Amino acid sequence: MLGQDHRKGITLFELQKMFPTNEEAKKWVAGIRWVDKVQCPKCSSDNIQTDVTHKTMDYRCRKCRKWFSVRMGTIMENSRLPILYWVYAVYIQTSSLKGMASMKLYKELGITQKTAWFLSHRIRKAYQDSLGGLEIFVGPVEADETYMGGKEKNKYNKDKL
């Protein structure tokens, strides 16, 4: 197991350059979610209206007439927190060797401890599940000093595939 000194990844300054605004973070999430075309999460239609004036919903399906945003169907659904906070929280949780407690996360992001706890639990759930059908976290992932994954030969016989 490599220590934190030997790990490679982006720095906090690089992350700030990548996502200077919430709009940039929203574009990045949309690019991950919909590689080719924006699709309605309700009816999977690609006949989407993008020039909408809704306060929180960026898209409207012309087929089923439902409003939706990049958050729907992800861990960010039903959260009013800007997407930029989610991006920073995921970065902090995944770049720390053993994750980060919600008490420290709320101090780092300037949010309430309850919101930080909510963020942490949603991010940990994303380690197990997939985000919008995409496997974002690949390989062994450590959460709260628990390793999920590992080599097949190290498992108990009853757990081997």
8-41 core/surface letters (b: 16 or more CB in 10 A; e: else): eeeeeeeeeeebeeeeebbeebbeebeeeebbbb
Split at pLDDT 50, 70, 90, the class of 117 is very high
Q: Say whether pLDDT at 106 is over 60.
A: yes
Write the pLDDT tens digit of every residue in 23-64: 898 888 888 888 888 888 888 888 887 877 777 777 888 888
Amino acid at 18: M
> Has this prediction a pTM greater than 0.85?
no
Tokens (6 digits) for 134: 């995409």
With tokens 């053993």, the residue in question is 98
CA distance 70 to 9: 25
Helices 113-128 and 83-95: angle between axes, nearest 10 degrees? 70
